[in-house]
Amino acid sequence: MLRILTAGESHGDGLVGILEGFPANLYMDMDFINRELDRRQRGYGRSSRMDMEKDKAIVISGINDGYSTGNPISIMIKNRGTYVNLVEVTRPRPGHGDLVGALKYGHKGGRNALERASARETAMRVAIGAICKLLLRELDIHIYSHVVQIGDIKVLRRFPDDMNWKDIAGVVDNSPVRVLDKGAEESIIEELDKAKEKGDTLGGVLEVVALGVPVGLGSYAHWDRKLDGRIAQGIMSIPGIKGIEFGLGFNLANRLGSKVHDEIFYKEGSYYRKTNNAGGIEAGVSNGENIVLRAVMKPIPTLRRPLQTVDMESKEGVLAQFERSDVCAVPSASIVAESILAYILADEIMIKFGGDSLGEVVANYSSFMEGLRER
Ligand code: EPS
Give the pLDDT of the chain (375 residues) as one tens digit per residue.
999 999 999 999 999 999 999 999 999 999 999 999 999 999 998 988 888 889 999 999 999 999 999 999 999 999 986 666 789 999 999 999 999 999 999 999 999 999 999 999 999 999 999 999 999 999 999 999 999 999 999 997 677 777 888 888 999 999 999 999 999 999 999 999 999 999 999 999 999 999 999 999 999 999 999 999 999 999 999 999 999 999 999 999 999 999 999 999 999 889 999 999 999 999 999 999 999 999 999 999 999 999 999 999 999 999 999 888 899 999 999 999 999 999 999 999 999 999 999 999 999 999 999 999 888
Report pLDDT digits (tens) over 121-153: 999 999 999 999 999 999 999 999 999 999 999
Q: Which of 41, 118, 321, 323 to mutate to test the pocket of ligand 1 (most atoms within 8 A of CB)?
A: 118
User: Cβ < 6 Å from ligand 1: which residues?
Assistant: 10, 47, 49-50, 53, 118-120, 123, 302, 323-326
83 Cα to the center of ligand 1, angstroms: 13
Which class does domain 3-372 fall in? alpha beta
Closest residue by Cα to atom 1, ligand 1, is 118
CB 335 within 8 A of CB 37: no
pLDDT at site 277: 97
pTM of the model: 0.97
CB 72 within 8 A of CB 18: yes
Give which of 20, 3, 15, 23 is closest to 359, Cα–Cα.
Answer: 23
Longest dimension (CA), the chain: 73
170 Cα to the center of ligand 1, angstroms: 26
